């Protein structure tokens, strides 16, 4: 049979971290945008979930709140940083999954009773490996000339060329010529 106490701890910690991430991100969104922003809160919720995933079975409820709250702060900081350096990440995927995934690994060493050095090393090696392999892949695709869509498709929008529909008609400009 299942360890009921462990299942309850995991479910509770997961919920608490998600809530803490959402609340902190919503509060910080007021300072960033001048008003409460639902997209920040939702990314904060996801950030809390990502941050707690590696350690939900090995931390206390209070620690899960701290992990989620820090993840909520990190995701907002990451989104602001990407905007400032003009990196296009419209849904905040890197701050949520990358930054908060690293945080979750490190938090496992801080709060979860696992060796901190090993957790930090793993939290740095995994993104480094991903960067090196993806750089090689995308550079190869670029050299092969298949990384980008055509200029016409870029101007029309991939909603039209790939899916035959326009999701944001206010942004569509008709293409008459590519000269």
Q: Is residue 128 part of a domain?
A: no
Write the pLDDT tens digit of every residue in 103-126. 999 999 999 888 999 999 999 999
pLDDT tens column, 30-49 = 999 999 999 999 999 999 99
- Is the residue at 66 inside a domain? yes
Distance CA 83, CA 90 (A): 9
Q: Assess if residue 176 is contained within a domain.
A: no
pTM given for the model: 0.81
Domain count, the chain: 1
In a domain, 137, yes or no: no
Outline where 85-167 has alpha helix (H). 93, 100-111, 116-143, 151-156, 158-163
Whether 122 maps to a domain, the answer reads no
Q: Report pLDDT digits (tens) over 65-113.
A: 999 999 999 999 999 999 999 998 988 999 999 999 999 999 999 998 8
- The pair of three-digit structure tokens given for residue 108, joined into one six-digit string: 């496992």
For residue 172, tell me if it sits in a domain: no
Host domain of residue 94: 4-115
Determine the Cα–Cα distance for residues 175 and 152; give it in Å rounded to an integer: 7
Please report whether residue 12 resides in a domain: yes
pLDDT band at 175 (very low <50, low <70, confident <90, very high): low
């Amino acid at each position: 049979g299942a360890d009921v106490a462990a299942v309850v701890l995991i479910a509770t910690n997961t919920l608490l971290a998600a809530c803490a991430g959402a609340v902190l991100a919503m509060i910080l969104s007021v300072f960033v945008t001048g008003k409460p922003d639902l997209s920040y809160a939702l990314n904060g919720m996801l950030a809390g979930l990502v941050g707690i995933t590696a350690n939900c079975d090995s931390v206390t409820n209070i620690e899960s709140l701290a992990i989620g709250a820090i993840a909520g702060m990190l995701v907002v900081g990451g989104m602001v940083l990407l905007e400032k350096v003009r990196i296009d990440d419209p849904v905040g995927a890197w701050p949520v999954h990358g930054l908060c995934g690293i945080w979750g690994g490190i938090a496992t060493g801080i709060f979860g009773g696992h060796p901190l050095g090993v957790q930090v090393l793993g939290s740095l090696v995994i993104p480094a490996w991903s960067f090196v392999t993806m750089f090689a892949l995308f550079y190869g695709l670029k050299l092969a000339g298949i990384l980008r869509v055509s200029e016409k498709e870029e101007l029309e929008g991939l909603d039209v060329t790939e899916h035959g529909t326009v999701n944001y008609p206010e942004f569509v400009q008709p293409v008459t010529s590519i000269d």
